[in-house]
Amino acid sequence: MNFAPLPTVDVSSVPGDALILDVREADEWAAGHVDGALHVPMSDFVARFGEVTEAVADGRRAYVMCRVGGRSAQVTQYLVQQGIDAVNVDGGMLAWEGAGRPMVADHGGPAFVA
C-alpha cells in the first residue's frame, strides 16, 4: 500500500493570517499558543470535526500544529483523506517558538511551549 507524502511546511512559511489548527491538549494550549488559532485537541478531534470543516468551508488551508509534529501529522493525514487542504507544520510549537513567532498564554504571563 502506497501513501502520498504528508504535506508539510516550515514555520517560516506559515502566513500571518493562516488558519492554525492546534491539536494539543488544554494544558499545553494554556501555556502558549498562536493567537487566533483554532484549538481542537486530538483527543476531541472526531467529536469536534464539524468545527474544523466549518473553519475550512471557504477552501482555506489548515496549518496543523502540535508540540513537535507527531500528533499533527496524524490529524493532517486524516484531514487530507477527507479532502481538506491541510498541511503539517514541521517541528510544531517548539519550532514556532524557536523561530520567534508570536505566542500568547491563557495565564497572562509569558507564553511558552509546555
Predicted pLDDT of residue 107: 87
Predicted pLDDT of residue 3: 60
Choose the catalytic residue: 21, 38, 66, 75.
66
Catalytic residue status for 66:
yes
Rg (CA), the chain: 13
End-to-end CA distance of the chain: 36
Measured CA to CA, the distance from residue 81 to residue 64 in angstroms comes to: 14
Predicted pLDDT of residue 90: 96
Predicted pLDDT of residue 26: 97
**Would you write out the chain's pLDDT as a tens digit for each of its 114 residues?**
556 679 999 999 999 999 999 999 999 999 999 999 999 999 999 999 999 999 999 899 999 999 999 999 999 999 999 999 999 999 999 999 999 999 999 988 899 999
Q: What predicted TM-score, i.e. pTM, was given to this entire model?
A: 0.94
Measured CA to CA, the distance from residue 105 to residue 5 in angstroms comes to: 33
Q: Count of CB atoms within 10 A of residue 82's CB?
A: 12
